[in-house]
Amino acid sequence: MADNDWTPPPVLLAVDLVIFTLRDAVLHVLLVERGVDPFRGALALPGGFLEHDREGVLAAARRELQEEANLDASQLHLEQLGAYGAPDRDPRGRVVSVAYLAIAPGLPEPLAGSDAARASWTPVPDVLAGRAKLAFDHRDILDDGLERARSKLESSALATAFCANTFTINELQRVYEAVWGVELDPRNFYRKVQATNDFIVPLGNERRAGRGRPARLFKAGNQTTLYPPLVRPN
């Protein structure tokens, strides 16, 4: 912190959100179509500026989550990714953005709510393959968010944030497979997640899904760190 009376240049502060969910066993990210220049018509991460100078950065992230995605931050996993402050990242002027990573369970309906009209779930593989171009440096932010999610699946119980209140072990496995982009052995996965103390807790009832043996239902346990970790292949 500078110790003199010189006044530093103000910058505009924004928050951007990387919101992941799983839809049909594919990882999706919420993107909005921009209605104004720059990058009019391009896709961008949802986000916005701080509303007033008493609003905390985390509070702004929660507000945008509600406004742009109609999601309740208190029900979701939300963590900071970092600040993006390259001087030329926004052609309009000096904007520094603090990015957040949010994880939502798969939702039956795409989205509802006023501001969320332009928002849509986009398959992450489409973005990675370059089939969906992002505005500003949002591709970098998305890459960082994806890497954060991938690495936190290894050592934390983050995967349960992708699931509904109750889920089967197979559903949990699909989370790992979609985020990591790999296939896992269901038999080894089955034992590994159950061996980790209080990662998932059985509910006693089962779910019949057409054919095959019914799967036991689980809910998320209280454990936040996974020991031993589930290490991704490669």
Q: Which residues bind DNA (CB under 7 A)?
A: 168-170, 185-188, 190-192, 195, 206, 208-216, 227-231, 233
Closest-CA residue to 193 (of 146, 148, 233, 228): 228
Least Å distance, CB 146 to DNA, is 21
Q: Confirm or reject binding of residue 35 to a copy of itself (CB under 8 A).
A: yes
d(Cα 29, Cα 27) in Å, to the nearest integer?
7
| The pairing of beta strand 119-123 with beta strand 26-33 | antiparallel
The rounded Cα 16 to chain-centroid distance in angstroms is: 11
Q: Confirm or reject binding of residue 8 to a copy of itself (CB under 8 A).
A: yes
Least Å distance, CB 213 to DNA, is 3
Least Å distance, CB 198 to a copy of itself, is 17
8 Å CB contact between 223 and 230? no
Write the CB contacts of 145 (distance below 8 Å, at least 6 apart in sequence): 18, 20, 29, 81, 99, 101
For a copy of itself, which stretch binds (CB under 8 A), given 46-54, 103-111, 121-129, 171-179? 46-54
Binding site for a copy of itself (CB under 8 A): 1-4, 8-14, 16, 34-36, 44-45, 47-59, 80, 82-83, 85-87, 90, 93-94, 96-98, 135-136
